[in-house]
Structure 1
Amino acid sequence: MSVALSDAALASYLAEIAGRLLLDVRASGLFSPKALGKAGDQTANQFLCHALREQRPDDGLLSEEEKDNDDRLAKSRVWIVDPVDGTREYGEERADWAVHVGLAIDGQPVIGAVALPGLDPEGRGRGMVLRSDEPLPLPPAPEKLRMVVSRTRPAAEAVAVAAALDAELVPMGSAGAKAMAIILGQADIYLHSGGQFEWDSMAPVAVALAHGLHCSRIDGSPLVYNQQDVYLPDLLICRTEHAEAVLGHVARLKQDAIDA
């Protein structure tokens, strides 16, 4: 682009364009349902990686669809992207999939953009992008708590904590969609313990933190990115007023398992 973009503006722009590319790939009708996910992943990944290397050549890069390079470990600034978070939902033409573009600085989730191309509240055909530099006001909390969980394999810890809190379970697809559901007022807690990688949560966590949400591991420890081992097994994103209760229930579950 002829005009230099800030890191946050670049993240948002790339996420939005990648989302539109993915919608075009799906609308082409050229791919079977089985092949669509791979075609979409590769198309969005090529765009995001080429664009980031062009716009930020000195930064590191970690993508789900790109071979990892340890060179990023020596970098202070590392872009972490997930071209299609929720490949199954993308292929099924659901709304709960996302594109993640985030920037970790010294391991901290500083900047993020999460595109939700399947959501189009303004009818512009461009989907929705939530970003760390333009936080939205959180909707009022409802009387009954809601916890987003996996559509296909809800984590046992999440189900147990939801029961303890008398929270309604809300099945949903991608990690990004779950995290953004809290910002959009569709849920209050996202507790995950089934295993993830850095690209699954980095951009959503940056956006969630900017909106004043609590984000941590399920033992309360901080989320740190750009590690050599990119596996990040668990995650809690919730409204701050629920964090203490959720972490307390998780700790009790762990202790009960040890005592059993």
Structure 2
Amino acid sequence: MTDMNVADWHSDLELIVDAARQAGKVALGYFRKDPEVWWKSGHSPVSAADYAANELLERLLRTARPDYGWLSEETDDDSDRLTRDTVFVVDPIDGTRAFIAGKDTWCVSVAVVHHGKPVAAALVAPAYDEEFTALPTGSAMKNGKPLAVSSSGADKIRLAASEDVIAKLPGSLKSRVHRIAHVPSLAYRLAMVADGRIDGTLVKPHSHDWDLAAADLILERAGGMLVGLDGNRLVYNLRQVSHPELCAAGNLLLPHLLEPLNLSDRG
């Protein structure tokens, strides 16, 4: 498949937004109704709602784009995706633990990834009635309005991270941090950085493509970045789909986070 122009990605964005909305409605049919739950290896829960939303997304998206590859948290991985220039990267419910607990912080995450980079992104958070979207050009959008990362400086940083991660921060950084309580959906947490509700987040190792790809593009088009602690951007649809420690923030703040983290690592 040759490189496609932005008009093609507009068409894909319309497709994935519609599919994510429909999957969100399916998931809402199970929400706060005690869906059946199973436990995957690694002690990660999956519910009947995850499987139902995944089935719908796979049917809608793969029927519409049969030449695209497929990578989803709830579908057995198939190396065929590695032969495709363009793939759907899907998490039918990001934040399953929150969903099972009846909490609102979960979303349907769908991205189109082309040559390792997200080129169309949709996050639908049905319990909040929120939709985040992005393309490779223009602003990221939330419910049809442009998004922008926080413009606050590096003196006081609203940082979403677990208590144990905060405890390990170097003192020069920890003194400037106001910790944000745990946000159970990683994709939604990154969207919160994109819309300026928080300044940044630190992500523990072993996040996956499906947690990140859609939110990555949304954050980028809102004026931020998701990177490894080495400052490098992520590449998606590789054989290995898990990632090391990551950091996300607005472009102006990001160096102020990465520098003390890297100095700490070298120490």
Task: Tell me which of 20, 34, 59 is aligned to 1:15.
Answer: 20
Is the contact made by 1:90 and 1:97 (CA closer than 8 Å) also made in structure 2? yes
Query: How many residues matched?
Result: 241
After TM superposition, the structure 1 = structure 2 runs for residues 40-59 of structure 1, keeping only pairs within 5 Å, are 40-59=49-68
2:164 is the alignment partner of 1:145 = no
**Aligned residue for 1:229?**
240
Q: Deviations over 1:158-178 (max 9, x none)?
A: 851697151211121110111
2:133 to 131, 134, 137: 131
The two structures have a TM-score, normalised by structure 2, of 0.82
In the alignment, does 2:121 pair up with 1:109? no
How far apart, CA to CA, are the structure 2 residues paired with 1:149 and 1:156? 6
Is contact 2:193-2:250 (8 Å) kept? Answer: yes
1:104 match: secondary structure: strand
Quote how far apart the aligned CAs of 1:217 are. 1.3
**RMSD value, Cα:** 2.3
- 2:212 is aligned, of 198, 201, 206, to 201
Deviation of 1:216 after TM superposition, in Å, equals: 1.3
Structure 2 gaps, min length 5: 1-9, 40-44, 141-145
Specify which of 224, 243, 267 is matched with residue 213 of structure 1: 224
Q: Deviations over 1:106-154 (max 9, x none)?
A: 00122211111221xxxxxxx211000452232653463201124xxx4
Structure 2 residue 35 is matched with structure 1 residue 25? no
Partner of 1:160: helix, strand, or coil? Answer: coil
Using the TM superposition, name which of 58-67 and 139-148 deviates more: 139-148
C-alpha separation between the residues in 2 aligned to 1:180 and 1:95?
15
> What is the distance in 1 between the residues matched to 2:149 and 2:171?
21
Q: Which letter maps to 2:188?
A: A
Q: Deviation per CA, 1:220-255, whole angstroms, max 9, x where unpaired?
A: 112000001111123222111111111111111111
Q: Deviations over 1:57-84 (max 9, x none)?
A: 0000100000111111011101100011
**In 2, Cα distance between the equivalents of 1:161 and 1:22?**
41
Match of 2:7 in 1: none
- So what's the TM-score if we normalise by structure 1? 0.85
Q: Which runs of 5+ in 1 are unaligned?
A: 120-126
Q: Which residue of 2 aligns with 1:122?
A: none
Alignment of 1:177 with 2:188, yes or no, is yes
- 2:23 and 2:219 mapped to 1: Cα distance? 21
If each structure's strand is expressed as a fraction of its own residues, which one has the higher value? 2
Runs of 4+ in 1 over 6 A off after TM superposition: 33-36
Give the counterpart letter for 1:31 in structure 2: P
Partner Cα distance (1:140, 1:114) in 2: 20
Tell me, in whole angstroms, the C-alpha distance in 2 between the residues paired with 1:46 and 1:62.
13
Cα separation, 1, equivalents of 2:217 and 2:179: 24
- Aligned counterpart, 2:11: 6
For residue 229 of structure 1, give the secondary structure of its aligned residue in structure 2: coil
Amino-acid identity (%): 27
8 Å CA contact 1:215–1:237 kept in 2: the answer is: yes
